[in-house]
Amino acid sequence: MKVDVLLGLQWGDEGKGKVVDVLTPKYDVVARFQGGPNAGHTLEFEGQKYVLRSIPSGIFQGDKVNIIGNGVVLAPDLFMDEAKELEKSGHELRSRLHISKKAHLIMPTHRLLDAANEAAKGKNKVGTTGKGIGPTYTDKISRNGLRVGDILDNFQEKYAAHKARHEEMLRALNYTDYDITDIEKHWMEGIDYMRQFELVDSEHEVNRLLKEGKSILCEGAQGTMLDVDFGSYPFVTSSNTICAGACTGLGLGPNKIGEVYGIIKAYCTRVGAGPFPTELFDETGNQIRAIGHEYGAVTGRERRCGWIDLVALKYAIMVNGVTKLIMMKSDVLDGFETIKACVAYNQRGHIIDFFPYDINQGIEPVYVEMPGWKQDLTKCTSESEFPQAFKDYIEFLEQQLETPIAIISVGPDREQTIERG
């Protein structure tokens, strides 16, 4: 049995949550391997809409085991709020959601440090989600982190020592005007709440499950262009969002990886600061935002919108070893006369077809333009119903990206998903 990995190839919000939910019936286990509550994964079915942040998107499909792996950073208060909300709507979690003891805890002071770091950056702000992601991963790498397993023994003492260290850092950043009394109380309730879940050595669990013949789907968060090594650094998140992150974030050998599903939108979006070569600042960009409801699932921030960027996608396919593509939000382009796709960059007068080191400067997209299909895709239930111009768009993307598109999504609902033969 192998492990399949599903991840975003753009700047996040590709529609990963929806696809994980759709694919979960084929798997025994769904596991998150990186990121934390910076994620917002939206699922829609039976007229209901759910947004998941730390809990894997396999939680709605029967009795599957869902795992939060060691590579994840977890905020106990936000986790508790999210889990209680699901329990309220009738989704029992405790027996099926396992949490790695090696996952790192996001403390209230990590969130303050996130804000303080952003303030100190002035006009070079990353535009983080403010959830304390960067400072928590920084503590992990500098060997100062507090882990889920720490709550099992002498926790208050450890917490106080970490908090004192953070307070010193905040003073050094001149960030002293805060009161976290209420937040801290809620956070400690979250710690107690977490104790009701199975806290596991997830690397042992996933490898044991594999040996027993179980199949696992790994759910990525964020997207490849936000990867700390390969994304548009420094405008990235603080984890490895690429396929290799599934190995380090769950304790899996690379030889265990089977399919690598790369999720793309039929266009492209980004939230937060940083380069985005195909960004549209005109009416077309506004139209994509309005039709695609391109506002952050968690923060409500406006998403920047633009055409699909095949140069960046080829790079993302390469660093992930993508075997199959899944295209989302095709229906958003239904009404457009023409559709554009970026096939090269003009970098200060030089035409290049690869994603360069200095993506932050002087990139102009070179586009190929195609006729739009001008037809409603949302009711399509099979490939044969697709208009010819949409079929041509799919074929063009497959040729350019040298990777098959296995699934096409034509609306937010679970049912609006077409698997290709």
Contact string 12-31 vs Mg ion (x = CB under 5 A): -x------------------
Closest by alpha carbon to 325, among 235, 420, 254, 240?
420
d(CA 217, CA 321): 16
Contact call for residues 106 and 75 (beta carbons, < 8 A):
yes
Residue 225 CA to residue 327 CA, distance in Å, equals 17
Residue 292 CA, chain-centre distance (Å), reads: 18
Q: Does 12 contact ligand IMO by CB under 6 A?
A: yes
- The dihedrals phi and psi of 222, each to the nearest 5 degrees, come to 55, -145
Taking 3-state DSSP, the helix, strand and coil percentages for the chain, each rounded to the nearest 5, stand at 35, 25, 40
Q: Which is nearer to ligand IMO, 233 or 396 (CB)?
A: 233
Instruction: Determine if 37 is a binding residue for ligand GDP (CB under 6 A).
Output: no
Task: Name the residue nearer to ligand GDP (CB basis): 358 or 376.
Answer: 376
Is position 113 an interface residue for ligand GDP (rule: CB under 6 A)?
no
Q: Does 44 bind ligand GDP (CB under 6 A)?
A: yes
Task: Give the interface size with Mg ion as a residue count (CB under 5 A).
Answer: 3
Applying CB under 6 A, the span of 129-137, 304-312, 336-344, 351-359 interacting with ligand IMO comes to 129-137
Of 4, 21, 28, 41, which one is the catalytic site residue? 41
Within positions 376 to 415, which residues make up the interface with ligand GDP, using CB under 6 A? 409-412
Q: What contacts 24+ positions apart, CB below 8 Å, involve 161-166?
A: 162/107, 162/109, 163/107, 163/109, 166/107, 166/109, 166/110, 166/112, 166/113, 166/135
How many angstroms separate the Cα of 259 from the Cα of each of 1, 58, 131, 135? 11, 18, 31, 32
Which range in 120-128, 201-209, 281-289, 354-362 contacts ligand IMO by CB under 6 A? 120-128
How many C-alpha atoms does 261 have within 13 Å on its Cβ side? 24
**Annotation marks residue 13 as catalytic:** yes
Select from 108, 272, 292, 411 the one that contacts ligand IMO (CB under 6 A): 272
Residues in contact with ligand IMO, total (CB under 6 A)?
Answer: 23
Q: Which is nearer to ligand GDP, 305 or 328 (CB)?
A: 328
**Burial class, 413, CB count within 10 angstroms (exposed 0-12 / middle 13-18 / buried 19+):** middle
Q: Which is nearer to ligand IMO, 326 or 339 (CB)?
A: 326
Nearer to ligand GDP, 49 or 350 (CB): 49
Using CB under 6 A, which of 4, 13, 21, 334 touches ligand GDP? 13
Concerning whether 293 is annotated as a catalytic residue, the answer is no
- Copy the structure tokens of residue 376: 């409603």
The site for ligand GDP (CB under 6 A) is made up of 8, 12-18, 40-42, 44, 292-293, 297, 328-329, 331-332, 409-412
Query: Can you give the binding site for Mg ion, defined by CB under 5 A?
Result: 13, 40, 297
Active site residues: 13, 41
